Chains A and B, each alone.
Chain A
Amino acid sequence: MSQPIIKIDNLSKLYRLGEVGTGTLSHDLNRWWKTKVLRREDPYSIVGAINDRTQAAQKGEHVWALRDINLELQEGDVLGIIGKNGAGKSTLLKLLSQITSPTTGRIRARGRMASLLEVGTGFHPEMTGRENIYMNGTIMGMRKREITSKLDEIVDFSGVAKYLDTPVKRYSSGMTVRLGFAIAAHLEPEILVVDEVLAVGDAEFQKKAVGKMQDVSKSHGRTVLFVSHNMAAVKTLCKKGMVLVNGCQRFEGNITDAIDFYQDNNALVTAENNHWEFGNNAENDNIRVTSIKISPLNGTTMDIGSGVQIEIIFFNKIKDITEDLTFEIVNKDDVLVFHHGFVFAKDRNSKLGEHKITAAIPPHLLNANIYSMNLIFGQSQRYVLFRQDRICAFEIENIPMENNMTILPGVVRPMIDYSLECHDSSTTNSSLRIEDRRTEPPIKVDGFEPRATPDSCGTKLPSKQIKKNTHALPKIIDLPKILDPRGNLSFVESEQHIPFAIKRAYWIYDVPGGEIRGSHAFKQSQEFIIALSGSFEVVLNDGLQEKSFFLNRSFYGLYVPEMYWRTIKNFSTNALALVLASTSFDQEDYIRDFHQFNKAKENV
């Protein structure tokens, strides 16, 4: 092993808590007298106090923001420093970049070290982009001629060429950040120290920035120290990882192990069966959180389709305020999936005592992942009364989709209905094939002709209704046998059995829990519904009466004329409905409100 490029030995940093300023002259004189003249211990230092922010600070207390950090990095190493807020990450960066000096220990490094704790340091709003490139570049330790030689590259990378001679105060914040980063990216230090600057800027720019940093470390063999909350970025960028907890170095090694270590140690309490009892661990002057229970909303396993039920029991200590509870769901990559709150005490009517809030995250929202929850209590949706990040964690299991066992990428995994229109590329004009057909009469093929089967399911609409409804009636229509177990849809292609030209086809599946789906009517569109698998019930309402049709995977389908309120329910397991429609998708065609439908029916 060659000599490390950075060597950190027993590095510690002590901070004084509380207000600094008043009374410090007497403290200073006292300390100087005791330590320097009498050679005693510093009277104001409480030795051994660790940086645990949850404990209230005593007056004049000192705290170790960093304690005994040892680290050696070789040339080309990319180290990710992770830890909770207040774990000492920023302090370590400040020490490394010589912004403040350590209390004990030593850092030795070889070569030029540049720190990027902020982009665009020293930018003056009145100066032009060009002047600021020189200003910022020299602050970062570049020489003027070095900047001149790289000016074109910097301008090119930042994409602000057009505004180079415009004062920076006229720049958008994104442009300022891009310019700042472009300068930093063209520094050529042997060691680069980067704070979470990538959190700003648009997605495209972030990608560019991470790419540039990878480029710097890989192709130029530079050493990078990167601090971030963004596990995804840390993972892509770093090879080594270090976890800081309350100022102490708790883990050092491979980045994947470091992230796992961090996440395992992050939930406040690990609990059996997703039930957390907090005792006094989650308490302040306003709120005491007693317990949290997380369970599947439907069924027994927590998977994508089950939904999540969250039950929070807490003791409220303030009355007569407007109070709200907010929770944030954060996934393993530290992406905030959502932030949702309930104002549980409106108009200043909060009460003392124990409360229980039960909330449900709907099924088909969260993808398979490990989630942690941040719990926040607020007053008037403005002040934070209580906040505990990562108060608990839970896992959502995958359910295979179309026999694909792997977890699909993405933060959420919603269930999405879709419709399909087929453009036939074999015809020279690429118009809709279905549309062409419309002008031709349906071709009759042996034995199969659209016909009504009035009683195949024992359903017949009452005669009173027939009189009132001048338009077509719903009917069951026979179909050729669906032979292929996966559902061969050649009969759809041939279009011989459906009494209209098909302009749109889509599927409706069930939602666990026997949910009602597809409840609406169409002004123009007729439909033909087929059970491709399983069974379900189609309920039709013409404004006077409701009629139910039971469909299963057999040899008939249901024809639904326009202006019928149609609902599909009681799906069996894995039921799948194929809906063929006579018009293409048109928002205007939908009637989604039942009252509106009734009104429209009366007008007919």
Chain B
Amino acid sequence: MNTYNIDIKPKKHLLDINFKEIWFYRDLLYMFVKRSIITVYKQTILGPIWFIIQPLMTTAMYMLVFGRIAKISTDGLPQILFYLSSIVIWNYFSESFNQTAHTFNQNAQIFGKVYFPRLIIPLAEILSGLIKFFIQFSFFIIIYLYFLFIGNTNIQPNWTLALVPVYIALMAGIGLAAGLIFSALTTKYRDLNHLLTFGIQLLMYATPVIYPVSTIPEKYKIFILANPLTPILEGFRYAFLGAGHFSWDSLAYSGGFMTISLFIGIIIFHQTERNFIDTV
């Protein structure tokens, strides 16, 4: 009779990831998501409205700085829709990246005391980010519908709207992958923590968030297009607003990038979680 279900060994195989165990801990995943959502607005007056205020204020600021002062083109679209759509999807990425990158450092206290599949934490961050995203996204939809039916604009929603869930999944996947790799490295090399905040900021300028791809000079275009986030932002805006461009090739490029980076991310993360408590 050899029915040992727990087997602790010094080295695990690179791909020995117990997805069954993660499924067993799904209630914990739910609790972590709930925790991060409800603790944000405990003891606040406006509560979940804060989720909306943030993109709204950012949009207003972009309209002022990039639209009015710098006069950056928005492909002839209403500025509020252009910026808001970009900010909503970009925020999801940056939130996911930022939150998952701190997995080990912020949860060292819990990780040092109890075992559960560590992957639960980044997954919970992605899911709670998704809830925040949907709140902001609904807000965007309301404004979008207003412009679609009442505003006198050239918005052209098209069939690629069906791909919006794919875009969201890609954003989540790439954010998670980047966060996993980062979190694993920061346990040992804390320098990366300093890099993270402004790194995300810089990445935003390297991604067509505040400008459309069409405004980029031809000789730099190759760099912007090499960014796997570019097709997602462009595609997202194209689906709702009809400006910009869409191609299956670039979408496949993003998808491929996500798959590979997520694979690497999970492996690195998994290798780190076993001993990180000794080095943290």
| Residues of A near any B CB (own CB < 8 A) | 3, 7, 15-16, 20-21, 24-25, 28, 94-111, 113, 115, 117-118, 121-122, 124, 126-127, 131, 134-135, 138-144, 167
Contact = CB atoms under 8 A, between A and B. Distances in A.
Name which of A94, A100, A110 has the most chain B CB atoms within 10 A of its CB.
Answer: A100
Contacts of A143: 27
Contact of B39 (A15, A101, A122, A126): A126
Given A97-B115, A134-B31, A139-B114, A126 B8 contact: no
Given A100-B275, A107-B8, A117-B113, A126 B42 contact: yes
Given A102-B9, A111-B5, 17 more contacts: A94-B277, A97-B114, A99-B111, A99-B115, A99-B277, A101-B9, A102-B8, A102-B10, A104-B10, A117-B113, A122-B110, A138-B28, A141-B25, A142-B27, A143-B27, A144-B31, A167-B42
A121 B189 contact: no
Name which of B1, B5, B10, B25 has the most chain A CB atoms within 10 A of its CB.
Answer: B10
Contacts of A15: 278
A111 B31 CA distance: 24
Contacts of B279: 20
B112 interface: yes
Name which of B4, B43, B116 has the most chain A CB atoms within 10 A of its CB.
Answer: B4
B190 interface: yes
B113 A118 contact: yes
B6 interface: yes
A122 to B, nearest CB: 5
Nearest to B112: A99
A108 B10 CA distance: 12
A204 B223 CA distance: 69
Given A99-B115, A140-B114, A141-B25, A127 B6 contact: no
Interface string B1-32: 11111111110100000000000010110110
Contacts of B39: 124, 126-127
Contacts of A106: 7-10
25 contacts: A20-B188, A20-B279, A25-B188, A97-B115, A98-B6, A99-B115, A100-B275, A101-B9, A104-B10, A113-B6, A115-B115, A117-B113, A118-B113, A124-B35, A126-B39, A126-B42, A126-B43, A127-B39, A131-B35, A134-B31, A135-B31, A138-B28, A138-B31, A141-B116, A144-B30
A3 B25 contact: no
Nearest to A138: B28
Contacts of A121: 110, 113-114
A21 B190 contact: yes
B277 A100 contact: yes
B68 interface: no
Determine chain B's interface SS by DSSP, over half rule: loop
B7 A108 contact: yes
A117 B114 contact: yes
B38 interface: yes
B114 A138 contact: no
Contacts of B114: 97, 99, 115, 117-118, 121-122, 139-140
B245 interface: no
Contacts of B275: 100-101
A3 B2 contact: yes
A141 B115 CA distance: 9
Contact of A135 (B2, B10, B35, B277): B35
Q: 9 smallest A-B Cβ distances: which pairs?
A: A98-B115, A108-B4, A138-B28, A107-B8, A109-B6, A101-B274, A126-B42, A144-B27, A118-B113
Contact of A21 (B31, B188, B278): B188
Interface residues of B, number: 37
A72 to B, nearest CB: 12
Nearest to A143: B27
Contacts of A113: 6
Nearest to A98: B115
Given A121-B113, A135-B35, A101 B189 contact: no
Contacts of A21: 188-190
Nearest to B278: A100
Name which of B110, B115, B279 has the most chain A CB atoms within 10 A of its CB.
Answer: B115
B2 A98 contact: no
Contact of B35 (A24, A103, A127, A141): A127
Contacts of B277: 94, 99-100
A122 B110 CA distance: 6
Given A25-B189, A105-B10, A99 B31 contact: no
A409 to B, nearest CB: 36
Nearest to B274: A101
A172 to B, nearest CB: 20
Contact of A99 (B9, B34, B113, B190): B113
Name which of A99, A108, A144 has the most chain B CB atoms within 10 A of its CB.
Answer: A99
Nearest to B42: A126
A3 B1 contact: yes
Contact of B188 (A24, A117, A118): A24
Nearest to A101: B274
A138 B26 CA distance: 9
B28 A139 contact: yes
Contacts of A139: 28, 31, 110, 114, 116
Given A121-B113, A124-B35, A139-B116, A95 B6 contact: no
Contacts of B8: 95-96, 98, 101-102, 106-108
A138 to B, nearest CB: 4
B10 A101 contact: yes
A86 to B, nearest CB: 16
A167 B8 CA distance: 37
A97 B6 CA distance: 10
A118 B114 CA distance: 8
A162 B98 CA distance: 39
Contacts of A94: 277
A102 B5 CA distance: 18
Contacts of B3: 110
B38 A127 contact: yes
Nearest to A15: B278
A138 B24 CA distance: 10
Contact of A110 (B6, B35, B116): B6
Contacts of A138: 25, 27-28, 30-31
Nearest to B11: A101
B95 to A, nearest CB: 19
A101 B3 CA distance: 21
Name which of A97, A105, A141 has the most chain B CB atoms within 10 A of its CB.
Answer: A141
Contacts of B35: 124, 127, 131, 135
A110 to B, nearest CB: 5
A142 B190 CA distance: 34
Contacts of B27: 138, 142-144
Nearest to B28: A138
A210 B208 CA distance: 62
Nearest to A120: B113
Name which of B114, B277, B278, B279 has the most chain A CB atoms within 10 A of its CB.
Answer: B114
A167 B35 CA distance: 13
Given A126-B42, A127-B39, A110 B278 contact: no
Interface string B266-280: 000000001101110
A98 B113 CA distance: 10
A24 B31 CA distance: 36
B6 A108 contact: yes
A3 B25 CA distance: 28
A269 to B, nearest CB: 34
